[in-house]
Structure 1
Amino acid sequence: MTADRGSTESPPAGGMGQRWRERRERFDTTFRERTVKVRANAGLAVQAGVAGGLAWFVAAEIVNNPAPFFAPIAAVVTLASSVGQRLKRTIELIIGVALGIAVGDAIILVIGTGAWQIAVVVTLAIIASIYVGGSPSLFNQAAASAVLVATLSPPEGGIYFTRFFDALIGGVVALIVMTLLIPLNPLRVVDRAVDPALDTMADALSDTGGALARRDASSADAALERLRKAEGEVRTLESAIEAGRETATLAPLRWHKRGVLTRYVDSSKYISRALRDSRALVRRAVTQIQDAEPVPPSLPEAVRDLGEAARLLYHELGAGVEPQGARDRALRAVGAAAQAYSAGVGLSGSTVVAQVRSIASDLIAATGVEMAEANQMVRRAVGRSSR
């Protein structure tokens, strides 16, 4: 009896070991993901650190401001802005800081300091920034600068114009750091965004092709869920394109990258559209399996070929070679889809065929072909398959 009671109360060793392995795997996954993020943003961290220290040095040692705290703040805030919008953010920062300092100095000089005075200063600083047509970023800078003026060093004998010059120094130093001293590699920025977008798309389409062949709705649904979560990767890709274009335009050391970057820029809108259309394809594939519609053998082949075309596109763009392999594989997918349509498919299957053609056109256009020509190539592939 004692032995039986003890056996029911003690967890089995296998269960404890399984839970330990699952925790270890989660920890390893999280550690790897965070390591990748650190590596991806290490350049930004170095830029911000160098700019902050350099802005303080210029304002304190060259301009002789004894307390130039606005200079490193302006530099760090500029470089902490979204990459791709730093020039715009720098201008907004300088205008916002100027407004906040002017309003803060003028109002605090008259009404003094305190809780309600800070409320008045912040309100008036935001109103002033609205009047000059500012963005939310400018509102934030104006309000933050007004608060700093009212709390850290309120005016005693007049308006301190040195604070505005500190902000100007910080913004200019940040631009010098990002364009001349430590410019990011625009191709690396874009490549890091294109990789997960096309990789997710390629894996999801390959898995969906396998799920269609096995009539496994759960596997296709899992691929659909991955594509839904990849919506953030589309936004990341669009931001990375802006960042690469900005760096290649402003940084002389990166001007030689503009030719290859142009191909990425031209391809990005088609890659984004193909990724979104892939979600529609996989959703209809799930319905096709669940409704027990016919699945000709060439249809899973077409979807897998489409995934391989996406994978080839990434490798060929990154290598800077003519992406002929991606074009050929996309057209092969179109031919296989046309064969499946001729063999007979249901309503959802017809939609899958149509999406294969649409995604193939986008992927071909992403290789540098004009969209009208890409559509012609797809139509010719359908005609060849039918004959």
Structure 2
Amino acid sequence: MTSPVTRPWRRFERNLTGRFTVKVRPSWFQLLKGAAASIITWFVCAAIFPDQLPLFGAIAALLVMQDNVDQSLTRGIERVIGVLLGVSVAIGAGTVFGNASWLFIAAIPAAMAVGWLLRMTPSSANQIAISALLMIALGGLSLDYGVERFVETAIGAAIGVLINALVVAPVRSSSVHEAIATLTDDAALVLSEIADGLSTPRDEPWLAQMLANARALQDERRHVHQLLRQARESLRFNPRGRRYAETLADDDDQFQRLQPIVTQVIGMARALTDLYSPELAADPAVQGMADEMRRASHDLSRLVHESAGEFEMIEPPALTKPYVIPQPNPEHWVLIGSLMEDLRRVRGRITGEIV
């Protein structure tokens, strides 16, 4: 059993390591590709420039090995431009001030100022400063040396991008459909819980848990957004992208259809929690509305299976026609009217009547 004294340290340790670690380890194959790109660059640049250690090229090859080809290309361009400007700053500072001992100090603000004037991102501006410092540290302030380092960097960036694109280019679309399916099933479960809350008298803790489950759909929706963005990036400039583009487009369409449903379900849970009364369970009209919610929950869960080609494996649709309450309860008509309107919208989006 963990003692109370060690618990704060454990929390501090988790918060500290969480700043530079990830929950899922990066792909070992990507790491292997990065190492291979750097080694290949080293030998290629060493053959072209035998008198110099190809540090600029090896670093560029490592830095451009990203999670997808689009990011690799962006990082490669950033690195090449950063080295070009950094080399220029170093040569310019050396020309003006000579080989002074404090040239390192002068180069840093000069490099950052260049990045600021060109409206470059902080990482790009840092590339300029780092390249300038490497130039000065390696003792090469001549124009020829700077050109060689620029060419070396371009070679390393090109090799890194090509290896990432041509050797099993990363694709991040496999987890999207699973995440959408989970969000759909969880939204259907909350809708079923709302129906249970209308059918049977519930206490405050139950309502609080039901609302917490509904609010958790927001985090799931943001997670799907992130996965879709990563998947689109992974297919951009990817030689294997066309093979996965159609499936990703279907998942995106499914998610766009699901988003407003999730919004309505969260609103229904909020309304039920705020305006709940145990007397609702005794109203026959409310019981009928609860039955329609269960049908909607069934058909909502069915949507994701239908899109995955599992149509014949599950029950047929349960929704038939819109539910109508001729005269709502005079004491709870606000809640009933709100739930009915949300149910109408959910039903319409499930059936396709509302786009």
Q: Normalised by the size of structure 1, how large is the TM-score? A: 0.66
Aligned to 2:142: 158
Q: Name which of 180, 183, 191 aligns with 1:194.
A: 180
Aligned CA RMSD, in angstroms, stands at 3.9
Corresponding letter in the other structure for 1:313: L
Q: Which residue of structure 2 aligns with residue 278 of structure 1?
A: 265
Shift of 1:87: 6.1
Q: CA deviation at 1:283?
A: 0.7
Greater share of helix: 1
Q: Which amino acid aligns with 1:146?
A: A
Q: Which residue of the partner structure matches residue 14 of structure 2?
A: none
Does the alignment pair 1:126 with 2:108? no
Partner of 1:213: 199
**2:255 alignment counterpart:** 268
Does the Cα contact within 8 Å between 2:172 and 2:231 map onto a contact in 1?
yes
> Residue in 2 aligned with 1:28?
none
Q: Is it true that 1:231 corresponds to 2:218 in the alignment?
A: yes
CA distance in 2, matches of 1:289, 1:123: 60
Residues 84, 243 of structure 1: 8 Å contact kept: no
Matched length: 320
Check if 1:147 corresponds to 2:147: no
Correspondence for 1:306 among 274, 279, 296: 296
Among 300, 304, 316, the alignment partner of 2:306 is: 316
Aligned to 2:74: 89
Alignment of structure 1 residues 1-387 onto 2, 5 Å: 37-38=23-24, 42-43=26-27, 46-47=29-30, 49-64=31-46, 67-71=53-57, 73-80=59-66, 86=71, 89-90=74-75, 93-94=78-79, 96-98=81-83, 100-102=85-87, 104-106=89-91, 108-109=93-94, 110=96, 113=102, 116-117=105-106, 119-130=108-119, 134=120, 136=121, 139-147=122-130, 149-150=132-133, 154=137, 155-158=139-142, 160-216=146-202, 217-290=204-277, 296-317=286-307, 319-320=308-309, 328-329=317-318, 331=319, 335=322, 338-339=323-324, 344=329, 346-364=333-351, 374-375=353-354
- How far residue 188 of structure 1 moved from its aligned partner, in angstroms, is 0.6
Question: Do the aligned partners of 1:183 and 1:253 also contact (CA within 8 Å) in 2?
Answer: yes
Q: Percent identity?
A: 14
| Residue 120 of structure 1, CA deviation | 0.7
Give 1:260's aligned amino acid: T
Work out the CA distance in 2 between the residues paired with 1:316 and 1:58. 48
Task: Please report how far the alpha carbon of residue 169 of structure 1 lies from its aligned counterpart in structure 2 after TM superposition.
Answer: 4.0
Distance 1:238 1:177, change over 3 A: farther
Distance 1:167 1:232 in 2: 41
Would you say the 8 A contact 2:58–2:156 is kept in 1?
yes
Larger RCO, structures 1/2 (Cα 8 Å, 6+ apart): 2
What secondary structure is seen at the aligned counterpart in 2 of 1:375?
A: coil
| Unpaired segments ≥5 residues, structure 2 | 5-21
Q: Which residue matches 2:8?
A: none
1:206–1:304 contact (8 Å) kept in structure 2: yes
Tell me if structure 2 keeps the 8 A contact 1:199–1:310: yes
Q: Which runs of 5 or more structure 1 residues have no equivalent in the other structure?
A: 1-15, 20-35, 366-373, 377-387
